[in-house]
Amino acid sequence: MARLEQVLLLEPEHELKFKGPFTDVVTTTLTLTNPSDRKVYFKVKTTAPRRYCVRPNSGVLDSGASVDVSVMLQPFDYDPNEKSKHKFMVQSLMAPDNVTDMEGVWKEAKPEELMDSKLRCVFELPSENEKTHDVDQNKITSTSASKSESSSLFKSASSTLDDSEVKKILEECKRLQAEVQRLRDENKQIKEDEGLRMRRSAPMTGSPSGGANAALVKEEGPTTRLLALAVLFLILGVIIGKLAL
């Protein structure tokens, strides 16, 4: 006796397509619809059960109801010769009235009561252009993420300084700048005083004391400059230390 025609509507009808690369789980959806006026039991089977995870793989559909079945292909090394071996079958059975034991119904069902549809698996590998596009897209995404992260870090560092801390830093800078200016003025005054004293004692330039005074003037200039540089470094250290905190 010929089997009954499949009562369920399948979408897609004949092929389940999986698009690689197959280095991660690839999922496709099979939609089952019951257009009849009775409940229908269904099962989804495959010739390669270790390669696929199917959810749900069985159940019951009320009249007019639909269900989306997720077919998840597990990662594997793609072999072109293996693609024709993978097939799926959707098996269905009209649910008897007033029966709740679905497994019992399946076990007692006669072959002529079963309806089935077969689907083959199609593996599609991305073209070289698609691969290049994916790589470029990943680079763009990575660059955008890096910029966003840098911006976030900058904002985070800025937000750690409230108005009072900024005000304290500016006041400290002003105070240190004033100290540097005072040292410069003192250095300038010392040079002017020493110059005046040297001009007054010009006839005695050949004496040992004259040479000592000249050496003293030469030493005071560099010493003051070093002190000014030290103060500037101190300013930078204070600012950097506040930012680090």
Give the pLDDT band of residue 242 (cuts 50, 70, 90): low
Give the pLDDT band of residue 44 (cuts 50, 70, 90): very high
Q: What is the mean pLDDT of the chain?
A: 78
What tokens were used for 197?
């004293």
Cα(80)–Cα(37) distance, rounded to whole angstroms? 43
- Residue 192: predicted pLDDT: 81
Q: What is the pLDDT of residues 118-144, one digit of tens each?
A: 999 999 887 755 444 444 455 555 555
Please give the model's pTM, rounded to 2 decimal places.
0.52
How buried is residue 190: exposed, middle or buried, by Cβ count under 10 Å (0-12/13-18/19+)? middle
Q: What is the pLDDT of residues 179-192, one digit of tens each?
A: 778 888 887 888 88
- Residue found under tokens 């004391």: 209
Return the amino acid letter for 77: D
Q: What is the pLDDT of residues 2-27, one digit of tens each?
A: 678 999 999 999 999 999 889 999 99
DSSP secondary structure string, the chain?
A: -PPPPP-SEEESSSEEEEES-TTS-EEEEEEEE--SSS-EEEEEEES-TTTEEEES-EEEE-TT-EEEEEEEEPP----GGGGGG-EEEEEEEEPPTT---HHHHHHH--GGG-EEEEEEEEEEPPPHHHHHHHHHHHHHHHHHHHHHHHHHHHHHHHHTS-HHHHHHHHHHHHHHHHHHHHHHHHHHHHHHHHHHHHHHTGGGTTSHHHHHHHHHHHHHHHHHHHHHHHHHHHHHHHHHHHHH-
Least confident of 138-152, 166-180, 196-210, 226-240: 138-152
Give the pLDDT band of residue 243 (cuts 50, 70, 90): low
Q: What is the pLDDT of residues 51-98, one digit of tens each?
A: 999 999 999 999 999 999 999 999 988 877 766 678 999 999 999 988
Contact between 113 and 94 under an 8 Å Cβ cutoff? The reply is yes
- Residue found under tokens 């330039």: 205
Does the pLDDT value for residue 212 go beyond 80? no
